[in-house]
Amino acid sequence: MIGAHVRPVALRHAFRPGRLDNRGLPRLLLTTMRLLRALFAALPFVLTLPASALPGGAATVTTEQVRAELVAHAPQGVVPGQPLWLGLAIEHQPHWHTYWKNPGDSGLPTTLQWTLPDGFKPGEIEWPTPARLPIGPLMNYGYEGRLLLPVKVEVPSGYAADTLKVKLRADWLVCKDVCIPEGGDFALDIPVASAFAARAADFEAAAAAKPRPLPDVRATATVAADGLSLVIEGLPAAWAGKAIEFFPEAPGVLDNALPRPARWDGQRWTVRVPLSDQRIDSPARMDAVLAAAGEKAGVRVGFDIAGAWPAPGTTPKPAAMPAPAAATPPLGLGLALLFALVGGAILNLMPCVFPVLSLKVLGFASHADDRRALALGGIAYTAGVVLSFVALAGALLALRAGGEQLGWGFQLQSPAVIAVLAALFTLIGLNLAGVFEFGSVLPSSLASLQARHPMVDSFLTGVLAVAVASPCTAPFMGASLGFAVTLPSVQALAVFAALGLGMALPYLAASLWPGLARLLPRPGAWMARFKVLMAFPMFATVIWLVWVIGQQIGIDGASALLAVLLALAFIAWALGTPGIGGIGRAAFGAIGVLSLAAALSWMLPTLQASAATAPARSGEAGSAWEPWSEQRVAELRAAGKPVFVDFTAAWCVTCQYNKRTTLADAAVMADFAARGVVLMRADWTRRDPAITAALAGFGRNGVPVYALYGRDGAPQILSEILSVREVRDALARL
Amino acid sequence: MKNVFRLAAFAAALGASASVLAAAAVGQPAPAFSAVDTSGKTVSLADFKGKTVVLEWVNPGCPYVKKHYDSANMPATQKNAVAKGAVWLTINSTHSGASDYLQPAALAGWMKEKGGAPTATLMDADGKVGRAYGARTTPHMYVIDPKGTLAYVGAIDSKPTANPADIKTATNYVNQAVAEVVAGKPVSQPATQAYGCSVKYSD
């Protein structure tokens, strides 16, 4: 090796036959000196061919978390016109990571500062394709395991030295759950005239992992308040249908942790990436790295951005899932109206509505002769019902247009609303049971109003009927009404009007039908007993509402509500039961008001109870069901696991029915386990904007929704009333 | 009349279901919150209505927080803001299962030892306040103007390194923003990229 570099000239000169004269000694000395110089020049190569320990740094820095080494790749030596690669090789200890050029929500990228002789120009780090590093609700981008960060160096012509002295100051942030900023000073001497390729394999691997540009890619990007929508054609054909990870190269523009809904249409990939809520830039052009889940090498795509960046401070709306191809096709408007009509008629049978309605109908018997009044009353009632439903739907639509993440059933997601409804039903039940009469509670002038304006009375009865019926619509009709809300406003309101019409139809028919009064039994003592009987379905509804509020705020809150109801009942009795004298009424009334104040002071703080203090709903110890999160679904899908999500709520009776029948069926659970399906439960009992947004992505606005995600493609939405056969068939097709 | 009573109940039912979605971007109203400080007192943002409020996310285990506290930079920024009449709330959103979680007394002790002078140091172990504000790093700084709108969101200064020597040559964005808000001027750099360790939320 040494011989190859030491020029033979000196030797030839040294041993050339020649006369020994008085010029021979100086010549011999000169040659010897040249030989010695050549030997000395060769020595450093002997000593430094592995990494050197020179003043100013070693080639390797080892810490408890990483082993970092300055490496080089010069297969033809350091020659102008040939690539010279330098790099920092980092071997991370397990579970420790360093960061990409865009580190994500936190962290800092590794930095390299080179000291090279004049004329050598180091380029930028050629970052390999990063990986996603989730940490809680945040997301970082970086590397674990073995990493090489290569840098291409331009070699100037005319570099005369025999070695290239490279110095590097590198700083990196290495984190696991804690973060440690580390750094080191590195030095390496590279022989100019020989190949330096001991780490060729690492450099080749780094080159393979580098995101490659695609010549035929076409990418269009448009920015709006809900995110950056990107459409890309020309991605590798093998990627079609796979989950694609998207890494923006510039930090501070796009959100890193929220899910990015994406879909494939043939070879075209569309994604919507939410904007960062703390965005600092509005670039006209961006670059990003895309990687197919499971493939090491990604691609690099640049795109111009059309559209106007929203003004800073505009609330970005969470991106919704694009409509999945395999979802139940939406109903036509006509069919939706028909279903609403029938559904409304069925509402009359609900324990909430039936008592009130049946008593009004029975009241016809006493007014059998005044058919015109009855008919007008019926029409007024219908108007009250229809307008109330339309108003309720209008309020929901207006709130949603204002950015609220509400769905149908929104009334029941608030414990305060449930408490008020429970109080209302209790009072109505007590009234039916005969504990008090309204006539004694309210001033007589108001009572006479009822007699003078029977049409207004009928109208308001209609409004009451809707108030009383609305909590009962969510349990049974949540999904259908939820779909209705997603229609254009006019169509949505029409569906709700049809619902109201359907609900009013039986009463309207009864009031218009002349023969009904004759068919009804004659008024008698039985009417009083029937009225009391109707109190029981009312109380049953109260029990259900107390159960729902217990799910939301815990047993303490539910008991507090019962105390409030008891106090209200006492007040109603004290003020409304006939036969107590004025003093007694005042005394009992006062006691009642004091008890109510005490009960309210107990209950009101419990309404604020957060989900953390309420009993865990979906997490029974050892339960097969995980709590849902959009992120976890994306992770599991990227890992190729099938996922079944049960969007449910405590107040949704259909959901509870399915939960206790089909979803508890042994054969169904066995099928889930056999196919390795991960089971997740999204509990919408209390307001949850993330779940509302996910439901909106399926084109739904209510529960239940059952979504089955296969290995790829869009999720399949199963029907509302789940049957064992349907689930097993869907699993078999996975 | 019973119908009046019924109507009132109906209206109450409808009205009680309103809610507000929070977003913590510059120009948006700062989300309301309430948390317990290290001495056990409950502190709410509403207590400081009409004042400039600075929020600082902290985690004593993070090297970037150490950079600013060991060099006395953060305590100096705190004193500077409080002297101008602002309120400074330091918030620790590390969840109780994290390896660098500190009990309230320990956090208070650390703050005292470093010479910190916030108006209050708040415990946010369930991460509610942090998530409401989208706090991602420690440190992460927010300045709220007297009208309750976010005027600055981002880093403490302009040099995202762990080296305390860089503090001298960096621009302290919080000093700048507080001075501008107190003077009633528009904030010249309202949003910057925050740097630091990630906030240790529970999963």
User: Chain B residue with minimal CA distance to A133?
Assistant: B198
Establish whether domains A213-306 and A625-732 are of one fold: no
Superfamily of domain B21-198: Glutaredoxin (3.40.30.10)
Query: Among A718, A717, A703, which residue's Cα sits nearest to residue A408?
Result: A703
| pLDDT band at residue A425 using 50, 70 and 90 as cut-offs | confident
Which of A106, A108, A549 to mutate to test binding with chain B, by most B CBs within 10 Å of its CB?
Answer: A106
Query: A429: which residues sit within 8 A by CB, 6+ positions away?
Result: A535, A536, A538, A539, A542
For the stretch A255-274, pLDDT in tens is: 998 888 888 888 889 999 99
Cβ contact (<8 Å) for B63 and A138?
Answer: no
Please tell me the predicted confidence (pLDDT) of residue B138.
95
Query: Looking at beta carbons, which residues of chain A come within 8 Å of B199?
Result: 106, 136, 138
Q: Which residue of A has its CA nearest to B62?
A: A179
Predicted local distance difference test score (pLDDT) of residue A66: 95
Q: Is the pLDDT of residue A151 over 60?
A: yes
Query: Taking CB atoms and an 8 Å cutoff, what residues of chain B touch A277?
Result: 23-25, 134
Residue A297 in this model has a pLDDT that exceeds 90: no
Residues of chain A with C-beta less than 8 angstroms from the C-beta of B128: 610
Domain A213-306 has CATH 2.60.40: yes
Taking 80 as the threshold, does the pLDDT of residue A186 lie above it?
yes
Nearest chain B Cα distance for residue A104, angstroms: 10
Which of B3, B18, B196 is facing A106, going by the closest CB pair?
B196
**Measured between CA atoms, how close is B195 to chain A, in angstroms?**
6
Closest chain B CA to residue A99: B197
Beta carbons of B19 and A404 less than 8 Å apart = yes
DSSP state, residue B156: S
Q: Which residues of B touch A447 (CB under 8 A)?
A: 1
Cβ <8 Å between A278 and B154: yes
For the residues A215-220, what does the mean pLDDT come to?
89
d(CA A463, CA A477): 19
Domain A625-732 has CATH 3.40.30.10: yes
Kindly state the percentage of chain A with pLDDT values over 70. 79
User: Highest mean pLDDT: which of A27-41, A521-535, B79-93?
Assistant: B79-93
Question: Looking at per-residue confidence, does A54 or A63 come out higher?
Answer: A63
Q: Kindly report the average pLDDT of chain B as a whole number.
A: 88
Inter-chain CB proximity B17 and A410 less than 8 Å = yes
pLDDT band at A311 (very low <50, low <70, confident <90, very high): confident
Quick one: pLDDT band at residue A367, thresholds 50, 70, 90?
low
A187 has which bridge partners?
A: A167
pLDDT at residue A640, as a whole number: 79
Give the pairing type, strands B53-57 and A625-627.
Answer: unpaired
Q: Is the pLDDT of residue A7 over 60?
A: no
Contact between chains at A277 and B24 (C-beta distance less than 8 A): yes
- Mean pLDDT is lowest, of A390-394, A524-528, A545-549, A596-600, for A524-528
Mean pLDDT of the region A692-712: 80
Provide the shortest C-alpha distance from residue B182 to chain A (in Å): 21
Say which of B98, B136, B193 has its CB closest to residue A280. Answer: B193
How many CB atoms are closer than 10 A to CB B193? Answer: 18
**Contact present, A688 and A695 (Cβ < 8 Å):** no
Buried-exposed string A105-124: b where 16+ CB fall within 10 A, e elsewhere? bbbbbbebebebeeebebee
pLDDT band, very low/low/confident/very high, at A541 (cuts 50, 70, 90): confident
Check if B30 contacts A (Cβ < 8 Å).
Answer: no
Question: Which tokens hold the place of A517?
Answer: 């009064």
Q: How far apart are CA A550 and CA A685, in angstroms?
A: 11
> Which residue from B19, B26, B134 is facing A687, i.e. has the nearest CB?
B19
Q: Which of A136, A180, A315 sits opposite B63 (nearest CB)?
A: A180
What residues contact B9, with CB distance under 8 A and at least 6 apart?
Answer: A420, A423, A424, A467
Q: Do A181 and B6 make contact, defined as CB atoms within 8 angstroms? A: no
CB contact under 8 A, B100 and A464: no
Q: What is the ipTM metric for this complex?
A: 0.84
Q: Which of A153-167, A204-218, A436-450, A513-527 has the lowest mean pLDDT?
A: A436-450
DSSP state of A178: S
* CATH T-level fold of A53-210: Immunoglobulin-like (2.60.40)
Q: Specify whether the CB–CB gap between A244 and A269 falls below 8 A.
A: yes
Tell me if B25 and A279 make a contact (CB, 8 A cut-off).
Answer: yes
The confidence score (pLDDT) of residue A470 equals 72
Contact between A463 and B7 using a beta-carbon 8 Å cutoff? yes
For residue B173, the surrounding DSSP H or E stretch is helix B173-182
CB contact under 8 A, A315 and B197: no
pLDDT at A26: 64
Q: Report the candidate in A503, A510, A505 with the shortest Cα–Cα distance to residue A365.
A: A510
CA distance A621 to A636: 22
For residue A423, which residues of chain B lie inside 8 Å, CB to CB? Answer: 9
* Residue A432: predicted pLDDT: 84
Contact B195 A108 (CB under 8 A): yes
Inter-chain residue contact A414 with B17, CB threshold 8 Å: yes
Per-residue model confidence (pLDDT) at position A562: 94
Q: Quick check: B31 contacting A, CB < 8 Å?
A: no
What CA–CA distance (Å, rounded) separates A497 from A397?
14
Contact A442 B4 (CB under 8 A): yes
Chain A residues closer than 8 Å to B61 by CB: 178
pLDDT tens, position by position, A459-502? 888 888 887 777 666 555 665 676 676 677 788 888 889 888 98
Instruction: Classify residue B46 by its DSSP letter.
Output: G
Q: Do B24 and A278 touch (CB under 8 A)?
A: yes
CA B96-B101-B106 angle, to 5 degrees, is: 120
Q: How far is the C-alpha of B131 from the C-alpha of A262, rounded, in Å?
A: 25
A726 or B18: which leads in pLDDT: A726
Least confident segment among A61-75, A139-153, A181-195, A526-540: A526-540
CB contact under 8 A, B13 and A424: yes
CB of A413 closer than 8 Å to CB of B17: yes
**Res A300 pLDDT > 70:** yes
Grouping H, G, I as helix, E, B as strand and the rest as coil, residue A488 is: coil
CB contact under 8 A, A277 and B199: no
In chain B, DSSP finds a helix count (H) and a strand count (E) of 7, 9
Main-chain phi, psi angles of A640, to 5 degrees:
85, 15
C-alpha–C-alpha distance, residues B70 and B75, integer Å:
9
DSSP A206-242: HHHHSPEE-TT-EEEEEEETTEEEEEEE---GGGTTS
> Considering only CB atoms, which chain A residues are within 8 Å of B150?
313
- CB contacts < 8 A (A, B): 156
Q: Per-residue b/e over A414-446, b at no fewer than 16 CB within 10 Å?
A: bbbbbbbbbbbbbbbbbbbbebbebebbbeeeb
Nearest residue in chain B measured CA to CA from A632: B203
Average pLDDT of the residues of chain A? 80
For residue B75, count CB atoms less than 10 angstroms from its CB and return exposed for 0-12, middle for 13-18, buried for 19 or more: middle
Burial B129-147 (b: 16+ CB within 10 A, else e): bbbbbbbbbbbbbbbbbbe
Candidate from A175, A449, A467 with C-beta closest to B10:
A467
Residue B201 contacts A where some CB pair is shorter than 8 Å? yes
Per-residue tokens: A478:
């949540």
Q: Taking the domains of chain A in order of start, what are their residue ranges?
A: 2-48, 53-210, 213-306, 333-607, 625-732
Structure confidence at residue A51 (pLDDT): 40
Question: Where would I find the H helices in A402-488?
Answer: 415-433, 438-441, 444-452, 454-485
Which residues 92-151 of B are in CB contact (within 8 Å) with A? 98-100, 126, 128, 131, 134, 136-137, 150
Q: How far apart are CA B144 and CA B56, in angstroms?
A: 11
User: Is any Cβ of chain A less than 8 angstroms from the Cβ of B153?
Assistant: yes
**DSSP letter for each residue of B83-145:** HTT-EEEEEE---TTSTT---HHHHHHHHHHTT---SEEEE-TT-HHHHHHT--EESEEEEE-
The alpha-carbon gap from A594 to the nearest alpha carbon of chain B, in Å, equals 21
> How many Cα neighbours within 13 Å face the side chain of A439?
6
Q: Is the CB of B18 inside 8 Å of chain A's CB atoms? A: yes
Instruction: Provide the sign of the torsion angle of the four alpha carbons A600, A602, A608, A609, taken in this order.
Output: negative
Q: Report pLDDT for A478.
A: 61
Mean pLDDT of the A576-594 span: 85
pTM here is: 0.53
Share of chain A above pLDDT 90, in %: 27
List pLDDT tens digits, range A597-613: 998 888 888 877 644 44
Of A105, A410, A460, the CB nearest to B136: A105
Q: How far apart are CA A42 and CA A30, in angstroms?
A: 18
Least CB–CB distance from B1: residue in A311, A406, A449? A449
Cβ-Cβ contacts under 8 Å for A500 (sequence gap 6 or more): A344, A382, A385, A386, A387, A388, A389, A390, A466
Report the residue of A63, A179, A449, A687 to disrupt the B interface, i.e. the one with the largest count of B CBs within 10 Å.
Answer: A179
